[in-house]
Amino acid sequence: MKNLRLLLIITFLGVTKALPTALAQDYGGLPPGEGRVEVFAWCSACHSTRIIIQQGLTKEDWDDLLVWMTEEQGMQEIETTMREKILNYLSEQFPPERPHYKSGIGIQNN
Ligand code: HEC
């Protein structure tokens, strides 16, 4: 009986420790790079990061999209330095010419 309780405690500790680690390593599938944490924090509040990952836009168009998110979709205004970091990340990772996500990895492409 005592061993079972100990086992449960260990299992519980294991789960609570593993959860944030898994999230931190995954970042909703965003590729590594300067600004990833910020994009994950800002942009996954309302929708999946997949909606971002499947996009391919110029820096100008990403800029417009951020304006659109703020003006039409209720996103909070991002402070200038942070906004620049996010914008750089988005335009570097998801430019128009990159191959877009192929379907078949649990992502709906239509
Ligand atoms: C306050 C909520 C909110 C936040 C925060 C937010 N979005 Fe959105 N976003 C939306 C909504 C709502 C839609 C769906 C709009 C529609 O299709 O009508 C959307 C759609 C999108 C789309 C799809 C556009 C398309 O062409 O269909 C992209 C890309 C996107 N958001 C990127 C971002 C990025 C990048 C960030 C972070 C900088 C972000 N969003 C933060 C609410 C939000």
Mutate to test the pocket of ligand 1, among 27, 50, 61, 69 (most ligand atoms within 8 A of CB): 69
Number of domains observed in the structure of the chain: 1
Range of the domain at 43: 33-97
Q: Is 86 in contact with 36 (CB distance < 8 Å)?
A: no
Per the domain annotation, does 93 fall within a domain?
Answer: yes
Predicted TM-score of the model (pTM): 0.78
Per the domain annotation, does 55 fall within a domain?
Answer: yes
Pocket of ligand 1 (CB under 6 A): 42-43, 45-47, 51-52, 55, 65-66, 69, 73-75, 86, 90
Determine which helix (DSSP H) or strand (DSSP E) holds 44, and give its type and residue range: none
Per the domain annotation, does 71 fall within a domain?
Answer: yes
Encode pLDDT of 33-61 as tens digits. Answer: 999 999 999 999 999 999 999 999 999 99
Per the domain annotation, does 63 fall within a domain?
Answer: yes
Encode pLDDT of 10-22 as tens digits. Answer: 555 555 555 555 5
Q: Please, is 15 exposed, middle or buried when counting C-beta atoms within 10 Å of its C-beta (0-12, 13-18, 19+)?
A: exposed
Per the domain annotation, does 26 fall within a domain?
Answer: no
Output the CA angle 81-82-84, nearest 5 degrees.
65
Closest C-alpha among 12, 36, 13 to residue 24: 36
Encode pLDDT of 81-102 as tens digits. Answer: 999 999 999 999 999 987 665 5
